[in-house]
Every structure is written in structure tokens, then in C-alpha cells.
Structure 1
């Protein structure tokens, strides 16, 4: 059988010889003669920099003269092939925008174009309609007004910022299995792109891969596009890029192009190096994070739409009331969730408990993996207020939180849709002789990630969110082994409508602050207490309460406290780490765990101070022994034994766990 790729490039070479072939290769742009405008420039080491830290801004780079793209005899568009390597480097890991586009334009005058979501090519008034534009966009922002599928996609734009075809950025491997792998456009690493057009069948192919991966045999995006009717005889060829409120630098490292044939491969050894990026200030990231939350809220307000549920089959009928129209973007179609989970089959079951069942699924339109949780609604409040709370929590955005993507209602069922985490929960890597042991470096990064998420819930969002069940089994790990705090806020939802005088304490034994036994009221301080227990279990590799341990070691905080008083606090560390740890960090975490676990709530530090201590921007306060004696036993007698657990505590388990001690893996975007 004739190979598909060889056949495609044979088609490229069969273009008519009456047109002059255009062929060039830039392994770096030091000697290139390009037409630059906006803030685009060529750096001293030969990088083509389209945008930098200025914002909002746009940058363009085109060949100085147009290329003839049509056969002078037939008037049909000619075949072409191009390859380039680009990189998007955000200043902050979780704040970035917008993207890069490879462009064919009738006119290189793009003075009318706007930055941000318009990619420096279009504007909101359609005043660009006189310019013929075909662009391949590599977009790192989700813009609902343009019907974007997500914030990491490649699309084909024809005279409009709305793509005629788009898919999530990814690539197919060339191994025997032909696997599929996601690709982050804003990873800061160089990415290869190949764009090929055949004039015979009008097929436009776009292929992506990391710089150290050979060109995949299967393109990521393939679409029938009749360029003959979309472009002029001559078109300018180049790149466009833009940024909005959040600083991102966009670079092109190399570029090759050929008309009527295969573009030459770039010489990776001759490409210029990307600039080094320093460590980012977390405090500065928090300030920018507040801005992105406001931007997302504004975006949600202006993009609320109507979800039409058109399905005549009874099994797909849903409960839908007029007031839910305002929650359009967060409302999932039951049919999509049914197809994603293969009809909620047992083969896709991740876990089950008193709350219901959790299924793994793949959304049919986007290919995104999700975890779908079935919940029976027991709250005394009205369903309208309950859904409003879910949508409110769904607006939370932080890289160390498991994202609640939305919900679906059908009959008496309530379905919650979450990100899917591939590496399960943290407790599986800490206890019961795990197969894979976490290094101290990984544990310390997880600790800092969870701390930043908890600080965001307490102080960084528009409302104060008390988590109420912080523990290792509620910390889920993404594909990079980053810690994600799950199940935030749901315990509070299930307490709505109950009598404050009779509300039972919600939480997990061993993490409950002693004052909960008296007041029954969860606060940010009780969250800090649970975080202290979490710090100790990560550092010591033990649960806060070990029922099978020797009597003197049954309460973990007691053991660490004894070691601290004896001046041998490092002896409390996880013995499985051996000597592979940083003593200064280990001592800081153990002491900080004791400080956060202090029986006196006024002695516990707020999460703002915890962040500063972990980043070594503030000293660790002295730990006072006042309040420990006598109150530890009270914790054991009251906080761990006599506290009742209400039915609402079902939801305080990880939303992806089969029990209170076993979590189910999730994954995110």
C-alpha cells in the first residue's frame, strides 16, 4: 500500500510548473529581512519576538513582498507546505494569553486590528472585512464569544476570529500503538508546527509535536478548505500575535516554507535559544490572580447563553427550569455525560459510597477526561439556591484546586462534573507501603501548592470558602504530580437549611479542631488546624491517628510534640525517606505543623503567614507550650470521640473516593 504521507506530498509536488516556486528556510532570523510592526522585533541572538512583557499589545512579522498563491492560468490556489517552531512563555504559570497565528493576508496593513482575543488580526467592528485573511491560530485563551472549545486549541480562521474548525492542542505518537498526547501551548517549551495544503483536494493539515519529537504521521487537525475562493492571487505570508492583561511572550525560533513541495526540515542545532525565565513571585501571582477572577466573572456575565435540550428519548430527558438559563455555561447535557461514561457502565466506575457513585468519562465533543459524581440532593433549601451555590463554586479558579466544571439535573439525580486527576490521591503515596515513594522535594512542592490553594479559598476569592475536610485523601495529584485540593465548599452546601443550634460537626477524625466540639462552627482557623495535621502526615508518613500503632504513638501530634520537647524533632520524620531530605525544610514543616495544630485557635497562624513561612519570606514564630498540656487529652476525648457525624458528612469525603480513606484519580486540563 502506498504510504499516506508520501501520497500527500506527491500531490504537493504535482502543482503546475507555470508558477514560480517560493522556497526559504530561516534557522533563526538574524539575517532575515522581514516586515515587522507592532512590538515585533528580532532579538540579538536571532529570535523573532512577536510580543514581550508590554500589554495589551500586538506584533506582526511578514515577508516584505507578497507571494503569488494562484495559478495564473487556472486561477486555483497552489499547494504549499510550511514548518516553524514557536514558544509561548507566560510570566506567571497560571495567568497567560493569548496566542500566535500563521497568516495569509491580502494586505499586511493590520493597523485596524486589536490585541487580546483578536490575535492582532481582527476587531469587534468588522472593519477588517475588506482584507482577505486565512489564519491558523494557536490559542491559549477560551473566548466564548468566538465559540472557542477550550483555552488550549488550534483552529482555522477565515476572515473571522471564529474558527471554522478547531481541536484541543495535542499530537499523535509514532509508536506501535499510535498514542494520543496532550500538548500545552503555554508550557514555555518550543513546539513544532507543520501546515500543509493540497490544491487537488483542498485538504489543509495542521500537525503539532514537542521539539524533541519527530513529525507525527497523523495530523492533529485536517479540514477541507477551498483556498481558491478565499485568497487573492498574491498574499502576504507571516505571523501575528497578541497579549491582553496577562503578560506572555511569544517567539518564533525558525521557519521554512515552500510553494509546490515539501518545506525543508529545520536544523534544530542552529536555532537560537529562548530567554531564561526566573522564578516567579507567588505574592505577585496572587495579585494577578485576583484580576483574572474578575475578568472571568465579567466574561461569564456577558457570555451567558441558552442551552437547548433537544432529545426525544425519555432516558435523556432532563429537569430544566427557566431560572437555569443564566447558568448556561455550567450546565452539562445529560446525553453528553451518558455517552462520556458509556451509559454509566460498571467498567467506568471509579468509586461508590453513601453519596452515590463516581464514574470516569471522556466528553464526546472535546475529548476531555472528567469525573462524574452522582449525588442525591438532601438539602432542605430550594434546588434553585443549591444550584446557585454549585455555580458559584465553579467560578473558583486556582491551579491547585480540582476544578468543578459544572452540573446536570435529571429527575431526582444531580450530577457534578469535575476535572479528572490521573495520579490518584496523595494518601496512596504516603501510607500502607506504597509502590511509588514520593521524594521530599515532591512532598514539599505539594505542601506549598495546597497551602496556596487554601489561602485562595480563605482570602483570595470574592467569598470566604471554608474547606472543612483537609487531609491527604482529599489531595489529588495531576499528571505532573502537583497537589490539587479537592471537595472544597461542598460540605457547606449540604448544611444549608439546617438549624445552626443542631448542626453536627462535619469532618474526619484526627483533623478536627478541639473548639468544634464546643461550637460546632467551622472557620478558617479550624481549616488551619486540619492543615497542620496534613503537614505532619506528609512529613512523617503517618496518619494523624494510627489505631494499630502502639499506645504512645496513637496520636501523631503527640509523637511530634514529644520529639520537639526533647530537641529531636527530626526523629519524627518519615523513616522511608532515609537521609534523602533537606533538614532545614523538614524541621520547618514539622514545627509549622505543630503551630497550625495548636489547641488554642488564637495561636494558629493564618494561611497568609503560612505561605510566607513556606517561601522563607517570614520567620517561623516560636511555638509556645501554653495550652498544650491538658488540651491534647481533651482533643482525644471530645474532638475525636464524642463528635457526631451528620448525614451531610457524606459529602465531606473526597468527591472521587469509594470511602473516607480511598480516593479516585482525576485529571485536569
Structure 2
């Protein structure tokens, strides 16, 4: 029994001698069973002889050093001796697609690197001091760390006193047969071999990498000229350092050979221990990370979806009451109008008036062009009747009316949708110097067209429609420059033969009939008064009231009356017309404008009569010189306006006569 025990011990000593051989200038480890290495951190030697630098623990580091220092420097001239080393390693990640951080062969003045930091710093230096003195290392890094200027997440680098590599290259090797570069994945779990050679005379470092079993490639992966005499001290320790980050990774060294002033001994691959395959088959960190992230993302998506729905409802909220259900076909969705106008952006703005802003829009999916007017209505009473009238007016059909297509209501806002008129509003052609001047024939046709449309409103439809805001800016021109009366936002309806019940004075200064200011009751004759002011505006190219004009020309109708008395009524025509107009037509238009804007309602014609005058079916009545010479005071007393003047002393006589307030 004793003989068997002695034989067993002798055999183990023999095998150990074969696996581990050391001398003063070099050593070789074909595996590390019984190796006397200085280990710290997570470093250990497994039962089968693997040097295990990390143990699959997050954010840890391990070091392994040859126990005895080596003499690197020639004391006579200070030059660094040549040296060469090779080692076989494997990096096993807990995931098929991610690992960290890396392993490094290093030459250090000390075996105590306990103050170093794992992760990016590979256990070589600390986070506070990213540089250190007298360190030479060759790193095999599997994480790209921008703070140390890593080139990628799979590289080899030569480090001199810093983790910012002196030279680096993507991991791989140059095949001897073709010289082509072949990439190696350091995280593949496959066993690989590294050679590090330093030529003391040339001061050149070469680093070569290849899969295990392939002869050392003739062309190194990295080659740098480095004067190590300023880096290495006379005696230094050689060893390995490895560190892990959050990804679970284990770093192994299977064999190691080192030689000073010569070529290292070749490793015996047959004696190298096997690397355990501990990685679960097909396991991916993407899966481990994605599962909790997916849960969090799902919750975030739900929250975002709820937020989006609430935000969308608020953004596109509408005011819809039960009584509006019957008006469904005439009601537009706010979100459709919002999208049609590009969110009511200023670039889509067509114009701004006293009652709202008008935007151009294109309705999906028909691509129909529309004009959308936004009117502030607050919480006004009578909204039900108002909307009912809007919907009714949507049934109006006449070639000289802008088609009202429908409406939309939001809190505090009413949106009216009309046909889009590509040529814009008439007032631009009257007052904008950048627009072409309308000739007389076009002006005459526009006036006749508006008269025809107004007749349809007063007498040609199932109800009487009082427009209440007839003026040049509310007359729009189609692609053929035909005039169309638009903007029915202030219009009111009542049955034929009944009395209108409007009691609020609305409209535009200069177009308001005197009796409307006094009674607040709009009628077809108050529309006729506004039409008269409109006729004079178009013919004369001037607004009904111009405060910047000379005193005798502030009120347009007064100025035209004065010229009519002098027999020079044609002098009031727009000077831009020159002499290019039809005299009879111009005289008729100017006189008709005065007749329609007569201060006394009973003296005004109806729109039926106005159209007869235009068609030549009835002669235009002559203006009465006697009546037109009435003084303002006499007129006011005749109409019983004295009480009005007492209530509103600031209102001038001229303003009242001209329809102002």
C-alpha cells in the first residue's frame, strides 16, 4: 500500500513538472495545477488547472501575477531587454451577444492593484486616476468605452501608462495563405492565443492573435514603436488583469509562456485544460433585458396612449348638444378642419375681419378647397336658433352667393365653412396697390351680381334672409372674377310676411342705416342701405368713411351728394379708371348708390326694383333736389332721432346720416 502511495505522488510530481517549468529568465504553464501565482480579487485556479480571473460576478476584478519579479532593464545602459510571451485564453459570456469588460496581459511595478476599478478600467487603474505610472498592458476589450477612446466593442490595444491605447485594432488575424484579415469575436467563447513580442534594439512591440491551433501568423495584428525604457523599471512583475461589468462574463487563461531575451517556449496544447461550457444554450442578454424592459415599456405605452387620447380629446374637443344631432350632415369635425388648415397656421390665413379670422383649408379625402372662418361666440344665448339659421342658410343656392357648407362648434368658438374663392375678396382690388386695378366693366358686373344675390336672399328663397354685413370685404371673387356675396355669420332669417325680431345693432361702421342705429331692428331696407354704400365704394374706390380724407370728403355719400348737386357726380369715380368707363352706366350706378343709401327707409328701392333698374326693365327715379337739401337737424327731427341724440350726444350728425355710430 505504501508503495502505491509513493508511486502516485511521484507520478503527480512528474506531471506537475511537465506542466509548470520556471527559471530566472522565463517560465511556462501548460495549465496551472499547483502553480504558485499571486492571486487577488475574484482570481482562482480551478480543480482542472484553469486560471479563472473572474467568476461571473458583476463589476468585479481579478489579478494573477508570477510570484517573482523579472529583471527587464540592463543596468549598464538602461535599455529594456527584449522579451516575448504567449498565452491561451477564453472569454465566456452569460449571453450570446453581450459581455464585459475584458482581460489584459500586463507588466507592473507592483502586484497590489487593489485600488484599481473594474468595468471600463479593466482593473488596471482607478476611476479617479485614469492614468498610472510604469504600466505596460495588452488589452482584449469587449466593450466600447468612449471615455477611453475605444475604437469598438471587440478590439485589441497596446496601453502605455493609460487605458487610452497607444495603438488598437479590431480583434482578428491576417491569414498566411492570402494575407486577408479575418475578424475574431472575443466573446465567442472560443479558445484563442495571443503573442506579445518586444524587440529591445528596435524598440518595437508586436501583438499577434489567432484561433487556437493555427500557427502564429507572420503578420502581427498590432505593431508599434515604443521606448519602454521610460515605462518599465529594472524589476517588474508580469501577470493578468480582468474585470466584469453588468453583463455576466468569466475570463480564463489556459496556458502561459514567458521568456526574457529570447523566444518563449511553445505551449503544449494537449496539456491545456478544457474550458467549461457554462453558457445556457441560445441564451441572449437581449431576452433577459427585453423581458423587464418590455413590461416597463408596456406600462409606458399604456400611460402614453391614455395621455395621447386625453390630449387628443382636449385638442379636438367640440361643443355638441343634443339638439344638434339633426344637423349632423352640416356639421364638420374640428379635427378635420384642424388638419385641413394645417392647424390654423398663419401661412393659411386668408384675412382678418372684425368678427374673426379666415383660413384656407383642403378637406380630406375629397381634396375640396374651403375657407374656414373662426368666430368667437362665448356662451351667448340663442345659440340653438343661431345654428339653426346657419344650417338653413347652408341650403341657399345662387351663383352670386358663396356657398355656406356647414359649421363646427367648440367652447367659446364657432367655425363656419365656406366654398373657397381663389381670387380673394373685392376690397383687395380696391385698396391694395399691389393688385391689378379692376376695370369699369368688371366692377359693373360685380355690382350687378351682388344685387342679384341679394334679391335671392330677400325674395327668392323660402325665407327672408337679412345679410346685415354687406361690404366689399365680404364680396369674394371666384376664378372668373365673378362677385359672390359671402360671410353669413351675422345673417338672420324670418318668414315672408312676418316682422323681423332682431334687436342688436351689428354690422360695420359706414354701412349701418340710421334707423338701425336707433331701433336695433334689421330689415331688408337696412340691407339696401348697406348695398348703396357698397355701390359707391366700388365705383369710387373709397371706403364709406375715411377719417384721413379732407373734411368735405370724410363721408363718401355726402361727398357724392355734394358733387351731384354741382353737376359733377362723375368726378367721384375712382381716378384709376381714368376715362375708360360707360358714362350712362357710371351715372346710374352713382345715383342708385345715393338712392339706396337714402336716410329715409321709405325712399329706398327694394332689391327687386334695383335689379329692374340694372336690367333696363324700369327707369331709375330722379333724385329729389328738395329732399337732398334737407339739413341734418331737420332730418333727425323728421325721423324722431332727437331722443337718440340726447342719449348719445357724442354721435355726430354726419355719422348718423351716413350709417355710422
Q: TM-score, normalised by structure 2?
A: 0.46
Bigger radius of gyration among the two = 2
User: Which is bigger in relative contact order (C-alpha 8 A, separation at least 6)?
Assistant: 1
